[in-house]
A and B are shown apart, each in its own frame.
Chain A
Amino acid sequence: MSAQNPAVEALGVAVAARVPVLLWGAPGTGKTSAIRAMAGAMDLPCETVIASIREPSDFAGLPIVVGGEVRFAPPAWARRLAEAGRGLLFLDELSTAPPAVQAALLRVVLERAVGDLTLPDEVAVVAAANPPEQAADGWDLSAPLANRLCHLAWQTEPRAVADGLAGGWSAPVVPVLPDGWHAEEILSRGLVAAFLHVRPGLACAPPSNAAAAGRGWPSPRTWEMAARLMAAAGIGDEARSALIRGAIGDGAGVEFLAWLVEMDLPDPERVLADPASFRLPERGDRAYAALAAIAAAVAADPTPARWTAGWQVLGLAADTAPDVAAVAARVLARCRPGDADPPAEIRLFAPVLRDAGLL
């Protein structure tokens, strides 16, 4: 097995960043054992609470009378976690918990408050659930509870199961959060803020139907979670994508990720002002996007100076990606300002254009 399940890695990051996380998956696929193994690997005491067989008072505290006043006594598992000062609270079977229990869980999940007791900040909250259509008597998660969790889809790979059965299950690898990720969080919050300026409609978009309400959806709280997870997960890997989409939902998540990719492209106006600074992105489709944006910027305002600068950029790209640059060259050739001389770079593209039968 080359790499571990991306969901395990995402789970590890969320636990390490202390963001409440929920694993969705079919029964019997190893969610519970993965979570316990992760707690073991991180050396965190793990308390398992099956939400579906509990009453609301188990999470809101059992009222007792002490000296004429009613206190809400926390159950033993909460006391043990509070005494340890750190740990992992594992809420199993969350989707089969009746609505009243889900309501009682609201404060536990986000604020770690159980009755009169507040669990230490170092306690991570992890939950697992079966999709309502697969659970014995499933309820959809209520929208407020769903909004407090990062939702990860748990998928099993047949190959990993075969390897695990034959050779034993490997212990999960604990992801190491990048150094100074707390400082990074300021940066990722800035990115989220910039995105929300462009797409204000996504700042808070409660889902319209009940099925979608039980999963992640964009709200100020989940955007904050997404920014935190983004900083903790480091750059550009599978786990980061899963965590962002899990926190704010698939629709908003994909738009945000696509926007991040676009942010990496060079700004056409800056490139045209200083063509020598241009670096061609390595991936073909991004190189195409960058050059097409530059050609479009020239075509929108074709002054001789900008036109010549555009050709200089294409000349730099012609060596590594002649085909990509030639597509942009055709756009430039069509918008030649009347008094501009044909640039020297145009000759670079003649061979490839001729081969393609376009001359």
Chain B
Amino acid sequence: MPEHGIEGLAAARLWAATKFPYLATGVFGAQVIADPGSGTLSVDESWRMHADPEVTADWTPAQLGSVLIHHVCHLLRIHGERAQDTGVRPDEAADWIRAADAEINDDLVPAGLELPGRPVLPRDLRAEDGLLAEQYFAGIRRQAARAAESQARSGPWLDWLDCGSGADGIPRPGQGQGSEGGLPPWQADLLRRQVAQDVIAHGKQPGTVPAGLLRWAEEVLTPKVNWRAVLAAELRRAVAEVSGAVDYSYRRPSRRSAVAGPVVLPALRRPVPEVAVVCDTSGSMTEDLLAMVLAEVEGLLRALGLARQVRVLACDTAVAPAQRVSSARQVELIGGGGTDMGAGIGAAAALRPRPAVTVVLTDGYTPWPAAAPKGMRVVVGLLGEGAPDAPPWTRSVRVEP
């Protein structure tokens, strides 16, 4: 390996890999380069660490190893990219780094990280443990705004290291992505997944891996899907399959018949489907979540040009009469008690004109009909965590806030 000139690096990495075996792949995957005069040990987004030998000379191997672990965590949690997504301005970079540090340190300092100096912990930001950097950062922004109003900032912040572009996403001179060495994004991605697999493997013995890190690894390996995107796609698909059952009809001749001579060409006709929304109003539903999903469904249907065709049914064991609504706020949740979505779907099928697409919003604790109603597509939104599955003849989307 090409890195040299940093004393105690091998011992520091060995300490880190022994103390935190689940992060060893990450520690060895990062390249350490001597960068005299930089006054810090920083990390860039290509998994390169730039160390000032004079700074690191004062540290014990355990301290240097801890900083390496800390920086690897910046990379694993892609703080650079997240800073750009959050819209961190260059003058706020120091605040963001403190927020990112707090996200890392709340877990790892109790697990035995021996950072030099006084590392930032959530309580320094007057926040509780276990939050995300974005949440800590929002807190800092609020505090800064308040401090600016009262013309007095709450004292100087503790000086810790400048963690570098790997932590705040703002390129440093001479450390650009293009310069040689370092990992290209796709390899960094693979390395991150490898570490996540190591973390999960070690996490099988309880008490060895901090819970925050385990949560991170699970999220990397099975990313949460945005329910809005899935719901939108399912709705579009259901509507497309009905309205897009664009049928060839000879009732109206094609506009192109003129060039076809004696052949009669069919024209395309596009039926506009009716849509019904069945809302579970039993006591187990939360009103906020239902209102949110209903608003989303409505927005989607409006985008498809179907807003006028929507009818909303409220349903527990009995079905309230169909309401024609123009906004989600007009829906009254009148029910309570037990639930039977079969009754709701049946009522939707009995509407005239008959809906071609029915959207069911429920918490899943309900009996279902054994088979799909004829000639109707059913999209189910399962609201809340741990909702039971919907039957296979529906297209279901899990909505978890």
Contact = CB atoms under 8 A, between A and B. Distances in A.
Interface size class of B (residues with CB under 8 A): 35 or more
A226 B172 CA distance: 37
B101 to A, nearest CB: 24
Interface stretch (A30-38, A43-51, A169-177, A324-332): A324-332
Interface in A266-303: 282-285, 287-289
Contacts of B295: none
A287 B305 CA distance: 58
Interface in B366-396: 395
Interface in B212-240: 225, 229-230, 232-234, 236-237, 240
Given A2-B178, A322-B10, A327-B18, A99 B25 contact: no
A210 B14 contact: no
B24 A100 contact: no
A155 B266 CA distance: 41
B157 interface: no
A210 B24 contact: no
Given A210-B234, A356-B12, A258 B18 contact: no
A335 interface: no
Interface stretch (A20-28, A61-69, A110-118, A308-316): A61-69
A62 B26 CA distance: 60
Contact of A254 (B30, B184, B189, B230): B189
A323 B11 contact: yes
Nearest to B62: A357
Contacts of A254: 189-190, 193
Contacts of A3: 178
Contact of A352 (B10, B178, B236, B246): B10
B186 A257 contact: yes
Contacts of A257: 186, 190
Given A322-B10, A323-B17, A211 B28 contact: no
Contacts of A132: 232-233, 236
A209 B17 contact: no
Interface in B54-112: 61-62, 65
Contacts of B241: 99
A133 B229 contact: yes
Given A209-B397, A285-B194, A352-B14, A214 B233 contact: yes
B15 interface: yes
B39 interface: no
A99 B240 contact: yes
A211 B25 CA distance: 34
B350 interface: no
Contacts of B130: none
Interface stretch (B144-152, B256-264, B275-283, B332-340): B256-264
B24 A327 contact: yes
Contact of B15 (A57, A62, A356): A356
Of B11, B229, B246, chain A has the most CB atoms within 10 Å of the CB of B11
Nearest to B183: A283
Contacts of B236: 132, 138-140, 210
A100 B244 contact: yes
A62 B178 CA distance: 52
Contact of A288 (B25, B176, B240, B395): B25
Contacts of B17: 288, 323, 327
B191 interface: yes
Given A62-B259, A242-B186, A257-B190, A285 B244 contact: no
B5 interface: no
A133 B235 CA distance: 12
A352 B232 contact: no
B265 interface: yes
A289 B197 CA distance: 13
B261 A64 contact: yes
B13 interface: yes
A287 B2 CA distance: 14
A284 B15 contact: no
Contacts of A185: none
Contacts of B176: 2
B233 A210 contact: yes
A168 B305 CA distance: 41
A258 B193 contact: yes
Nearest to B237: A210
B231 to A, nearest CB: 9
Contacts of A64: 259-261, 263
A56 B260 CA distance: 15
A65 B262 contact: yes
Interface string A332-359: 0000000000000000000011011110
B309 interface: no
Contacts of B259: 62, 64
Of A214, A242, A352, chain B has the most CB atoms within 10 Å of the CB of A352
A98 interface: yes
B26 A65 contact: no
B395 A261 contact: no
B8 interface: yes
Of A132, A214, A242, A288, chain B has the most CB atoms within 10 Å of the CB of A288
A353 B14 contact: yes
Given A137-B305, A209-B234, A356-B15, 20 more contacts: A55-B268, A98-B244, A100-B268, A132-B236, A139-B240, A209-B395, A210-B236, A254-B190, A257-B190, A287-B28, A322-B14, A323-B9, A323-B13, A323-B28, A324-B13, A353-B14, A355-B11, A356-B62, A357-B15, A357-B61
Q: Which 8 A-B pairs have the closest CB atoms?
A: A285-B29, A355-B11, A211-B233, A2-B178, A284-B28, A99-B244, A241-B186, A210-B237
Interface of B: 1, 8-15, 17-18, 24-26, 28-31, 61-62, 65, 176, 178, 184-186, 189-191, 193-194, 225, 229-230, 232-234, 236-237, 240-241, 244, 246, 256, 259-263, 265, 268, 270, 305, 395, 397
18 contacts: A2-B178, A56-B268, A62-B260, A65-B260, A99-B240, A139-B236, A140-B233, A210-B234, A211-B229, A238-B186, A257-B186, A258-B190, A284-B1, A284-B30, A285-B29, A287-B28, A323-B11, A356-B61
